[in-house]
Structure 1
């Protein structure tokens, strides 16, 4: 199917899901559906992904009052803000860039993925020409209700590995976002969710997570097939702190390695190159989660992983 690139087709074939992927391809549009226009206009946050000048892929978060994301034409999007100074994508989006996006509404478990090309506007926003727009199913999204607090000064902290508090945070997380890009730099941003413990630290520079049943498009794994660079965004829903990681991802297809990982079809391993943590980066605060009924049980702790 023309909507998929070679990496996606390779992964779909390896998974034995070519027919399922062909069926799912009907959901991928080149113009914004009317229902999506209303959905986007209601959102206070937008997860984005792009590649920086060094070839590193990062995921980040844009926030604003509902209406800060609006459809401007059949395949046009306007966003009234850009990443703050100090964000890994601040400089990248100060110039034209390939941009992946996911608008997600935890309160209703709805999400919309969009990929395209952005350019900065004189008023400090982004104009985005979309190539692909499609909704995803609500699986693995934890239900949360939002509230707002006043903006607070945010200063990023940089490192090359995870500290003890960050490892504890990862052990408790139930949601993260992953940005990837194909060989041509076309970016994608996606969501991963599960019960606490589904994202595991194998050490201060290595993570792994189970890849659960999805829509068979394999946008993320297809990109990794062609380009292992990836970025993770882990939001602290209660404080607004953001943890951003960039590194490389690999997909382990050995079925023996899914032992102890309920629901895993495959395993993804991530090697960290750089860590950016920004306290109170988001003005959004969220209620305690109502976990998705689709979440498999939490995995067993792997040998050698931090307790």
Structure 2
């Protein structure tokens, strides 16, 4: 498959950015360059997006470990090891390779790297054979200067079919979330950021957020154009609590060229203290538009 499928190209054409997208698309490749390998090996957090083989629902899942738990083991392969990686691979099953999207984001440097490909379980976790490897600009990434690994026992996960008052406040306070999407030949995991309040809770089962201008590739929105399934991950960067949402999303375009994404919830998973990391307070990106709380 080429860099873009029909869904992404349709939105690029609507936005009038096909030429820019073609230029940016030349940065996508399959090889993991040395600078990318070094970046991955320094990260304690990796977010993976994939469809559940049983239900077909798409989830974004945080995996953690000491730096080095993600590492390049070949020019087109990464290895992800540890307890969270093994548990994730078991949930996906062993019936052939699974399509996954991954993103590593470093708030200290406001850098992010995405690697999409095919997951193979291993005795220590899993490997991903890369189909796409690329970095994104730092727009809308909040800077967090440092983190510490903390000894936490995750709380019992709580399954929800709608958001209550606590989950609503959690979403409204978020400055970052991760978005997992799929298409006919793969999966993708991406980042969305803004000032607190940029994600609106329209109802207990519907969220909405603005699609801020970015790299013009429209990989995520292109996937949603062809397959509306989506997974969202909200993370409390201090307490490690996570809120994972799965459902369907659609994009609405306005006459002034702006876009809003609307997400309808099917199922949610609330897990206290899920991530054993505590990050420093954020310095909001200067690219973030003002948000009415």
Can you list the C-alpha shifts for 1:2-60, whole angstroms capped at 9, x where unaligned? Answer: 31111111111111110010010111011011110111110111011000121110001
For residue 161 of structure 1, what is the aligned residue in structure 2?
A: 162
- Residue 122 of structure 1 and its aligned partner are, at CA, apart by 1.7
User: d(CA) in 1 for partners of 2:242 and 2:255?
Assistant: 33
- Residue 119 of structure 1 and its aligned partner are, at CA, apart by 1.0
For residue 98 of structure 2, what is the aligned residue in structure 1?
A: 97
Give secondary structure in 2 for the equivalent of 1:27. coil
Unaligned runs of 5+ in 2: none
Q: Does 1:10 align with 2:10?
A: yes
For residue 36 of structure 2, what is the aligned residue in structure 1?
A: 36
- Residue 255 of structure 1 and its aligned partner are, at CA, apart by 3.0
User: Are 2:231 and 2:246, in contact at CA under 8 Å, matched by a contact in 1?
Assistant: yes
For residue 304 of structure 1, what is the aligned residue in structure 2?
A: none
User: Normalization by structure 2: what TM-score?
Assistant: 0.95
**CA pair 84-119 structure 1, distance change in 2 beyond 3 A:** closer
User: Are 1:93 and 1:119, in contact at CA under 8 Å, matched by a contact in 2?
Assistant: no
User: Normalization by structure 1: what TM-score?
Assistant: 0.90
User: d(CA) in 2 for partners of 1:266 and 1:66?
Assistant: 37
For residue 290 of structure 1, what is the aligned residue in structure 2?
A: 283
- Residue 91 of structure 1 and its aligned partner are, at CA, apart by 1.1
Count of aligned pairs: 290
Match of 2:274 among 274, 281, 294: 281
For residue 191 of structure 2, what is the aligned residue in structure 1?
A: 191
Unaligned runs of 5+ in 1: 257-263, 302-307
- Residue 287 of structure 1 and its aligned partner are, at CA, apart by 1.0
For residue 110 of structure 2, what is the aligned residue in structure 1?
A: 109
For residue 133 of structure 1, what is the aligned residue in structure 2?
A: 133
Q: Superposition RMSD on alpha carbons, in Å?
A: 1.8
- Residue 291 of structure 1 and its aligned partner are, at CA, apart by 0.2
- Residue 153 of structure 1 and its aligned partner are, at CA, apart by 3.6
User: d(CA) in 1 for partners of 2:23 and 2:289?
Assistant: 25
User: d(CA) in 2 for partners of 1:71 and 1:49?
Assistant: 19
User: d(CA) in 2 for partners of 1:149 and 1:170?
Assistant: 24
For residue 27 of structure 2, what is the aligned residue in structure 1?
A: 27
Give secondary structure in 2 for the equivalent of 1:273. strand
